[in-house]
Structure 1
Amino acid sequence: MTDEDPLAWKTLDSEVAYTCPGFEIRHEDVRLPDGVKTDFDYLTEPESVAVLPFTEDGDVVVIEEWRQAVSRVSRGLPVGGVEPEDDTLELSAHRELTEETGYEADRVSHLTTVEPANGIADSVMHYFVAYDCVPTGEQELDDNESIRATTTTFDALKEEIATDGVYDGRTVLGVSYYETFGAEE
């Protein structure tokens, strides 16, 4: 879509209202298609990668991470931001997998790209499947991460999702997309 689309809003002014490590809140003054002027706030953050990692034996590497916003440990896939030094999204996927789990993948394959919450955020999530993952070292966690890596079978992970044992939407989407469409190796 272009700004010429009759549904498009016109941005009159834009500024960062709040900033913290990992994201910003942007405030914009806008004109709606009917001419009404109003404002709109949204979360802006760098692109991210989510990795569905399979070991050489076919198990899935998952993480258990404390999530302060919901005050509990959340079980799911490794996810993290694309860094400026990452030359490709594939390198981001390899890096995030290793940093959060201590596992390295032989290869990764792009699964899909989504905008998970485009009504309130400009987030873009690139999903990858990682193959032949092996534990090679220690995690390299950020100073605000508390993560435990473990493995499970793909069927057990699907069952956890089906029985409300996994609430992380990024994980539900990645596993469901892979189950429905598969991935190119």
Structure 2
Amino acid sequence: MTEDSLAWETAEREVAYRCPGFDIVHEDVVLPDGTETDFDYLADDPAVAILPFTPDGDVVLVEEWRQAVERVNRALPAGGVEGEDVDLETAARRELAEETGYEAESVDFLCEFEPANGISDAVFHYFVARGCEPTAEQDLDFDESIRVRTESYDDLLEAVLADEVRDGRTALGVMRYELGGQ
């Protein structure tokens, strides 16, 4: 069986719900066996996540309130690509500065993932930023509640491995970096 024989045919597509940050898309689809059904998914703009290192090797993190899970999460700075971003690196630099007040000497692409492609079209583009210094001002969105902190990379890795970091973007980025992104 080839991959094409698994493809669904989209008969109709509409945005069922629109809100700041994402849309919910409703599709009428035809499955490979001819079954007609519907499918809903979260449509999201591309996003960047940054693993930012200070000159002394600490990682710059954010602690952010996440309403859906009703707790503060320790996480990598991350956010959506915006219209004025000329490329993904520009978006990574902007998000780092906006969320943390840190600016990077260098920013290098690490990887990209579709973290929940069964329910969303979201794509996360990961970058490693080095030489990060607090030379900018935080410029948070109206709905962001963020505290900035630094910690050693080893402590962050240990927290990921001990299931203390619940943010999936962060855990995925740290594990990918550890497995060969250095």
Question: What's the TM-score bracket when you normalise by the shorter of the two chains?
Answer: over 0.9
Q: 2 CA distance for matches of 1:122 and 1:47?
A: 9
Q: 1 CA distance for matches of 2:19 and 2:39?
A: 19
Q: TM-score, normalised by structure 2?
A: 0.97
Counterpart of 1:63? 62
> Where does 1:96-111 land on structure 2 (aligned, <5 Å)?
96-111=95-110
Q: TM-score, normalised by structure 1?
A: 0.96
Counterpart of 2:166? 167
Counterpart of 2:49? 50
After superposition, the CA RMSD in angstroms is 1.2
Q: Tell me the amino acid that sits aligned with residue 120 of structure 2.
A: A
Counterpart of 1:146? 145
Counterpart of 2:77? 78
Residue 144 of structure 2: SS of its match in structure 1?
coil
Overall identity of the aligned pairs, in %:
63
Q: 2 CA distance for matches of 1:131 and 1:39?
A: 45
The count of corresponding residues between Structure 1 and Structure 2 is 181
How big is each residue's C-alpha offset from its partner over 1:69-123, in whole Å with a ceiling of 9 and x where there is no partner? Answer: 0000000100100001100100000000000000000110000011000000000
Q: 2 CA distance for matches of 1:106 and 1:137?
A: 13
Counterpart of 1:10? 9
**By how many angstroms is 1:144 displaced?**
0.5
Q: Does 2:131 align with 1:117?
A: no
Residue 5 of structure 1: SS of its match in structure 2?
helix
Counterpart of 1:158? 157
Counterpart of 1:34? 33
How big is each residue's C-alpha offset from its partner over 1:134-172, in whole Å with a ceiling of 9 and x where there is no partner? Answer: 001321000000000110000000111122221001000
Q: 2 CA distance for matches of 1:39 and 1:175?
A: 36
Structure 1, unpaired ranges of 5+: none
